[in-house]
Amino acid sequence: MSRRKPVKDNGFTAKDFLVTTPEEMQRRGWEQLDVILVSGDAYIDSPFIGVAMVGRILEREGYRVGIIGQPDIESAEEISRLGEPRLFWGVSGGSVDSMVSNYTATKKFRNSDDYTPGGKNNKRPDRATLVYTNLIRRHFKHTAPIVLGGIEASLRRITHYDYWSNKLRKPILFDAKADYLIYGMGEIALLDLTHALEKGESPTTVRGVCHISKTPEPDYIQLPSHAECLKEKERYIDMFQYFYDNNDPISAKGLCEEVDGRYLIQNPPCDYLSEPEMDGLSAMPFTRELHPYHRQEGEVKCLETIKFSIMTHQGCWGECNFCAIGVHQGRTIRTRSEASIVGEAKAFTAYNDFKGIISDVGGPTANMYGYECNKKLKLGTCDHQRCVDSRHLCSSMKVDHSRNINLLRQVRAVPGIKKAFVASGIRYDLINEDKQHGYDYLKELVRHHISGQMKVAPEHTQQHVLDLMGKPGKQTLIDFKKLYDKLNADEGKKQFLTYYLIAAHPGCTEADMHELKRFTSEELKMNPEQAQVFTPTPGTWSSVMYYTEMDPETRKKIFVEKDTRRKEKQKEIVVKKQQFRSGFAS
C-alpha cells in the first residue's frame, strides 16, 4: 500500500485524477472498481495519453475506473493494489510501442524515457503488453477479461514483422493470451465492449474488436495464414495489403487469419467520432498533470510539450510508407470545432504555470485540419489508390487551408495567449498545391506560429527512394523553400528550415546518401542534423519492404541495408559537417 504524500500542483490533488491508490478508493467509498487500466507509462492525466483518455471516457459513463502505471513486474504488490475489476482489465504498452521506446534503430538500449518519472528508462519492460497480461494472469486466477489496446496492440494485431527478434510474430492476442483487443483509436468500440460486458453479453461482434475463435468467420476476408506468411514472403505482402485496405469504417470488411488451428477474427472498424463527439472528449476534466503517486520520483519530460498543446484533429491521409498513423488513427480527417479548440486555449490561462505559450496547435499533419475528400466521406478510402504519393495528389482531394487560417487567428486572439506555435508535422507539398490559400497559410505561420525555425520532413531526395517512402519529389521541396525564404525576407525575419531525413530506408544505398548530402549542401546550403536511421516498426509498408526485400507493388527485389554498421555509415554520410564556400560551417 502506498505511503506517499499527496503533491499539489495548479490546485489539483489526487481527488481530481482517476483512482490509482487504495486510499483514493477508500475516500470515494468504493470497494471494487469496474475497470482497471494498466499502462507502460506513468499515469499522466492528459488528452494526449491514450490510457487517460480511455479512463475519462469510462468515468463519464459512470464507471469506476482505476489506473496502474508502470507496475513492478517482479511482485504482486503494485498490480494487486487496486484489487480485481468487476468488468475487465485494460492493458496498454503505453503511448509508444515498448520496443521502439526501449531501443534505437540500431538496437541500442535507450537510457531515457519521456513517460517515466525522473526520465530514466527503468520501468517499461520489453513487450510491455505481453508482460503486463502475464503479470495479471499470474496473480489473478480466473479473473475478469483482459482487453488489449493502445498502439502496441493495435499495430501488432495480425501477423507482423518484429524487427527486434527479426522474424514474423503471431498476432499479439495469441502471445498475450488476452481475451479481446480494441484496435485503432477505438473510442466507440470501447463503450460498446464495456456495455456488452456490463450486460453479461459477449463482445465478439463489436466493431473495432479482435478476438480468437476456434472456427473461421466465413463472411470475412480470409487472410493468408500465419504459416503461409512464414513460408512465402509474397503471401505476407498479400496479407498486409488486405489488412491495409480494410481500416475504414465505411468500406472495410472483417478479416480472418488462421494461426495454428485457431483464428484471429478482426471485426470491421468502429465508426469515427463526429465533430461534436470529438469536442465532447476534449472537454473532459483532464488535469494535464502527472498523478501525485508518481510525482515524488520526478517529472515526466513529455509534459514539457503536451501539457499546453492542442490536438485539432485525428487521422492522416499522407500515407508515408514508414508511418503507421494511417493504420492506427485512420486515413480520414476528423476535426474538432473552432469553438472547442479556442475554448481549450482559454482554459490554459487558468493554470498557474501557464506562461502564455501554446506548444502546438496541430495534429498528425497540422495542415490537414478542416478539409477532406467528399468521395471518401461518403464511400470510405479507396483500395490501391492513395490520396497523395510521391508524384501527385488525387484530383478528388481539394486542399483548402482557409479554415485552418481562421482557426489560428482565433486562437492567438485569446486574451492571455502570447504565442501559439504549430510544431506538428506540416506537408509542404499541400501548401504548394493550395493555389488559393496556401500562400496565406504559410504567411500566417511565418508571421505568428514559428519559433525561429520550421521543421519539415523531406526524408530524402533520390526519386526511387522517395517512391518507396511515398514522399513528394525534391522539386516540391525546392519550390517550397523559395516561397518560405521569400516570405521571411518580406517579413524581415531570419527563420530557418530544419529537415528530417532518413538513412537506410529500403531501397537506399550509400551512393544515395552521398547524393542526398550533395543536394543539402548545394541546393539547401546547410548541414543536416536531423537524420535518423530507419526503424522497421509494425503496421507499415516500409517494414514489409524491409522483411521481404521486395517492392510490394511490383514484387521486384530491392536493396535493403541490414548491417548495423553500414546503417550508421549511411547516417554519418549526410550529417558530417563540411565547410561551405562562404567560409563558415552551418
Confidence band for 579, pLDDT divided at 50, 70 and 90: low
For residue range 460-489, list pLDDT tens digits in order: 999 999 999 999 999 999 999 999 999 999
Given the DSSP bridges, would you call strands 209-213 and 180-182 parallel, antiparallel or unpaired?
A: antiparallel
Phi and psi for 101 in degrees, rounded to 5? Answer: -65, -35
Q: Is it the case that residue 518 has pLDDT exceeding 80? A: yes
**Hey, what's the torsion of the CAs at 257, 258, 264, 265, to 10 degrees?**
60
Q: Is it the case that residue 14 has pLDDT exceeding 70? A: no
Q: Is it the case that residue 6 has pLDDT exceeding 80? A: no
pLDDT (average), residues 234-259: 97
Task: Count the residues in the chain.
Answer: 586
> What pLDDT does residue 390 have?
79
Q: Is it the case that residue 143 has pLDDT exceeding 70? A: yes
For residue range 320-332, list pLDDT tens digits in order: 999 999 999 999 9
> Cα separation of 262 and 501, whole Å?
42
Residue bearing cell 481530481: 16
Phi and psi for 394 in degrees, rounded to 5? Answer: -60, 140
For residue range 392-408, list pLDDT tens digits in order: 899 999 999 999 999 99
Annotated binding site: 316, 320, 323
**Hey, what's the torsion of the CAs at 316, 317, 321, 327, to 10 degrees?**
60
Q: What is the mean pLDDT of the chain?
A: 94
Domains annotated for the chain, with CATH where assigned, are 14-208 (3.40.50), 308-451 (3.30.750.210), 452-586 (3.30.750.200)
> What pLDDT does residue 451 have?
85
Annotated binding site for [4Fe-4S] cluster: 316, 320, 323
pLDDT (average), residues 131-157: 97
Residue 559 grid coordinates: 536493396
Residue 352 grid coordinates: 498557474
> What pLDDT does residue 391 have?
83
> Cα separation of 550 and 560, whole Å?
9
**Hey, what's the torsion of the CAs at 405, 410, 411, 414, to 10 degrees?**
160
Q: Is 376 left (phi over 0), alpha (psi -120 to 50) or beta?
A: alpha
For residue range 214-241, list pLDDT tens digits in order: 999 999 999 999 999 999 999 999 999 9
Helix (H) or strand (E) holding 53: helix 50-60
pLDDT (average), residues 42-61: 98
Q: What are the beta bridge partners of residue 579? A: 585
> What pLDDT does residue 389 have?
83
Confidence band for 1, pLDDT divided at 50, 70 and 90: very low
pLDDT (average), residues 31-53: 98
Q: How many CB atoms lie within 10 A of CB 21?
A: 22
pLDDT more than 90, % of the chain: 92
Q: Is it the case that residue 586 has pLDDT exceeding 50? A: no
> What pLDDT does residue 530 have?
79
Residue bearing cell 479473473: 143
| Range scoring the smallest mean pLDDT among 73-82, 214-223, 517-526, 534-543 | 517-526
Alpha carbons within 13 angstroms on the beta-carbon side of residue 401 total 27
Confidence band for 384, pLDDT divided at 50, 70 and 90: confident
| Range scoring the smallest mean pLDDT among 59-73, 215-229, 380-394, 397-411 | 380-394
> What pLDDT does residue 8 have?
41
> Cα separation of 41 and 301, whole Å?
12
Q: How far is CA 511 from the centre of its chain?
A: 32
> What pLDDT does residue 439 have?
97
Q: How many CB atoms lie within 10 A of CB 176?
A: 23
pLDDT (average), residues 247-262: 97
Q: Rounded to 5 degrees, what angle do the CA atoms 539, 544, 548 make? A: 160
For residue range 172-197, list pLDDT tens digits in order: 999 998 999 999 999 999 999 999 99
Confidence band for 15, pLDDT divided at 50, 70 and 90: confident
> What pLDDT does residue 529 have?
79
Helix (H) or strand (E) holding 67: strand 65-69
Confidence band for 584, pLDDT divided at 50, 70 and 90: very low
For residue range 422-458, list pLDDT tens digits in order: 999 899 999 999 999 999 999 999 999 998 899 999 9
> What pLDDT does residue 385 have?
81
> What pLDDT does residue 10 have?
67
Q: Is it the case that residue 5 has pLDDT exceeding 50? A: no
> What pLDDT does residue 585 have?
36
